[in-house]
């Protein structure tokens, strides 16, 4: 397989945004109401089924041996799971590959390893977690099947209201660039 290489995470967001766009979708959400959030949510969706989805994007480069550097993968999992504390119901991590990662065979080996871990990833991270690899489209290794069981649905309802009322800060310039494509 021929993997597309990408220079920046913003470029990856621009590429995958149209592929996961829903009823209301925002890039790089950094504030909810008047509160800054960390980490920012790379792509926030309110789906047509009225479900809140948050996606983290990560670009993976190479280590000194030319293998896929995994640190970004693990960091991405951590950031993705932190979205749940804001009331997000389903989360996802979309991985892309930096233009510095030259060897397709090394990428293929990494992706095959992730596919072999598919069931374990679902057990560990939950059925509310999606994992996708961007090749020339998003190739989903795991797709979220259920919502995260929030103990208190007030967070989720509050987040839905913020999205409906657009009381959030997001990268308007990036959204404009995406829509112009």
pLDDT tens figures, 6-46: 999 999 999 999 999 999 999 999 999 989 999 999 999 99
- At 155, the pLDDT band (50, 70, 90 cuts) reads confident
Are 9 and 59 in contact by the 8 Å Cβ rule? The answer is yes
User: Nearest-CA neighbor of 29 among 132, 167, 130?
Assistant: 167
pLDDT tens figures, 37-79: 999 999 999 988 889 999 999 999 999 999 999 999 999 999 9
Predicted pLDDT of residue 2: 80
Whole-angstrom CA distances from 97 to 83, 134, 151 are 23, 8, 36
Are 98 and 61 in contact by the 8 Å Cβ rule? The answer is yes
Rounded Cα distance, 88 and 3, in Å: 30
More confident residue, 93 or 156: 93
Residue whose tokens read 């959204």: 175
Helix (H) or strand (E) holding 28: strand 24-32
């Amino acid at each position: 397989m021929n993997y597309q290489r990408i220079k920046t995470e913003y470029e990856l967001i621009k590429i995958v945004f149209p592929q996961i766009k829903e009823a209301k979708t925002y890039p790089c959400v950094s504030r909810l109401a008047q509160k800054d959030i960390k980490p920012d949510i790379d792509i926030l969706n309110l789906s047509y089924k009225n479900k809140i989805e948050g996606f983290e994007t990560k670009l993976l480069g190479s280590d000194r041996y030319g293998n896929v550097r995994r640190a970004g993968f693990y960091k991405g999992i951590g950031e993705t799971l932190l979205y749940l504390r804001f009331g997000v119901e389903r989360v996802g991590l979309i991985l892309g590959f930096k233009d510095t990662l030259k060897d397709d065979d090394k990428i293929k080996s990494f992706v095959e390893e992730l596919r072999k871990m598919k069931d374990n990833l679902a057990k560990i991270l939950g059925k509310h977690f999606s994992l996708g690899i961007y090749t020339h489209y998003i190739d989903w290794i795991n797709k979220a099947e259920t919502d995260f069981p929030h103990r208190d649905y007030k967070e989720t309802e509050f987040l839905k209201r913020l999205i409906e009322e657009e009381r959030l800060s997001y990268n308007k310039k990036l959204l404009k660039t995406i829509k112009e494509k």
